[in-house]
Amino acid sequence: MTSIVQNKVIHTAVSAPGAGKTQALISQISSLLSAGRSIVIALPTLSLTDSFVSRLPAGVPHRVINSTTFDHVGSELKAALKEKESHLVITTHQSIFAVQPNLLRGWTLVVDELPPMVDFPAFTFEPSELAQLLVNAVELDGRLHIREGCADAIATSLATFKAASAGAERTSMLSKDGARIYECLKDGHPVFIDSAIPNGNRYVRSVVESSCWDTFAAAEEVHILAASVIGSQFDDFAQVHEFTYARSEFTPAFDGYTSAVTIYPVMPEGRKFSTTTMTMVAHEGSTMDQHKQGQALVIDEVLKIVLPRANGTPLLFNNNWAVFRWLPRGDAHRCPIDSRGLNEYQAETDAILLFGGNPSPSDQLALEFLATKYGRVFLHGFIVTRLLEPSLQAATRTAIRDRNNTKPIQLFVQDGRVAEYLVSTYMPDAVIDWSLSEICPAGEDRRTTADVRRVQVYEFFAQGKRNAEIVRLTGVHRNTLPRWREDWRLSRAA
């Protein structure tokens, strides 16, 4: 039996947002099809799919297979890849990575934008809700596993939940969060359960890695169109799975943005923008209860300082928790953080970026799990993917992408990390102006303060106590101790 050689090369078309990566692909499609190539194009969203199809040359035969064109996307996509009646198939990231990888043999796969690499679903469960989960799952050493003989019961519970969610006359005992955890268990992803907090609730979380690498390995050729690859989460996992890069034939020529750009961080130099710093009550620095009583949060005061300095109607990007109920309609264009394909505001010169991207405590535990599993640090890739790259995409929704723009661009960004990333990627001539950071309020992120328990934990290390006993004595999470023990060893050796 002839073995199939796995593809381990990814061709990357890396260039700035608005540089013309997608158009470079579209301009070559007709000639590629004429040369006998079979091409699958995967886009991240349905709206980007519609935009892509509208730009195809007239008369190019193609099939669009997604949730707007078919009820059963998986079976339609499977048949299209297997039978090759059309040699140009257009679908989504989610759909292409859900089909059997071997169906991609003989196909050139082009992925527009980096697909998500890992998800960290995490939910708080009340005791009664957790008890429902534990009917078919069992807790062992801080993790949940499918209870012996209950795999079919979990599948049935999920099917009932999906039917009930779709409006069928059926009742499901599972909550939406519970169904997500059952999905993780069914698919073989690790599921962790933390100790009970004082009110009796418990945190259940998982680490869900992408299955895209088997798809990439099966395809005849893979191309990725992206603004950046190196340093991202995608890059982290590409290295883990031993993929290498080559330059894609769809890489467009790009001479750089021509607009004059000034970048204004709102956090002081050396300080990081975070949910904690921005959700403190302005002037009080106390509790969310005061905010509920009508007192403004720090982020409200920041926007009130920034907004008068913006020209035109600025683009505003913020997390959902920043509601800005006081903001008059029409004073800013409220935009989603995932701004890929958002091209209707290119006449505007200014953007205000007030969203975070630091790992939550739960995310941090997941990153530590990955670090232990693969022997490498994933934090930088997390920050690039969750904060820096979305900030670049948001900033370039403005007139900066218009080569004929002569107006200056103002970008009001979260902190120095974002400012430096913009300069180091596609805005090398931009000026970073710290003046706003001197007058914007900024709460203290208590999560960045050194954990006072470290001193006691180090003493226990010196006494030779085991991790389990230290967890019991100090309350430090068991996943944190290996990293602290290594830090302690290094400090002793220094």
Comparing 134-143, 169-178, 234-243, 363-372, the range with the smallest average pLDDT is: 169-178
**Do 105 and 219 share a domain, yes or no?**
yes
Residue 341 domain-assigned?
yes
**Do 443 and 484 share a domain, yes or no?**
no
Average pLDDT, integer, range 104-117? 96
**Do 242 and 267 share a domain, yes or no?**
no
**Do 488 and 436 share a domain, yes or no?**
no
**Do 272 and 157 share a domain, yes or no?**
no
Residue 161 domain-assigned?
yes
Task: Give the pLDDT confidence score for residue 4 in this predicted structure.
Answer: 57
**Do 13 and 112 share a domain, yes or no?**
yes
Q: Which neighbouring-strand residues pair with 281?
A: 297
Residue 113 domain-assigned?
yes
| CATH number assigned to the domain comprising residue 280 | 3.40.50
Residue 1 domain-assigned?
no
| Rounded Cα–Cα distance for residues 338 and 319 (Å) | 11
Residue 252 domain-assigned?
no
**Do 289 and 387 share a domain, yes or no?**
yes
Residue 38 domain-assigned?
yes
Closest CA to 259 of 96, 139, 422: 422
pTM, entire model: 0.84
**Do 376 and 407 share a domain, yes or no?**
yes
| CATH number assigned to the domain comprising residue 71 | 3.40.50.300
What angle do helix axes 481-493 and 467-474 make, rounded to 10 degrees? 110
Residue 100 domain-assigned?
yes
Task: Give the pLDDT confidence score for residue 459 in this predicted structure.
Answer: 80
**Do 421 and 310 share a domain, yes or no?**
yes
Count how many domains the chain has: 4
Task: Give the pLDDT confidence score for residue 454 in this predicted structure.
Answer: 74
In contact, 399 and 347? CB cutoff 8 Å: yes
pLDDT above 50 for 449:
no
- b (16+ CB within 10 A) / e for 66-83: beeebeebeebbbebbee
Task: Give the pLDDT confidence score for residue 89 in this predicted structure.
Answer: 96
pLDDT above 70 for 283:
no
Mean pLDDT, the chain, rounded, equals 89
**Do 273 and 345 share a domain, yes or no?**
yes
Residue 127 domain-assigned?
yes
Radius of gyration (C-alpha) of the chain in whole angstroms: 25
pLDDT above 50 for 288:
no
**Do 363 and 326 share a domain, yes or no?**
yes
Domain region containing 187? 121-206
**Do 59 and 199 share a domain, yes or no?**
no
Amino acid occupying residue 324 = F
| Rounded Cα–Cα distance for residues 489 and 353 (Å) | 41
Task: Give the pLDDT confidence score for residue 285 in this predicted structure.
Answer: 42
Contacts of 456 (CB under 8 A, 6+ apart): 474
126 falls in which pLDDT band (50, 70, 90)? very high
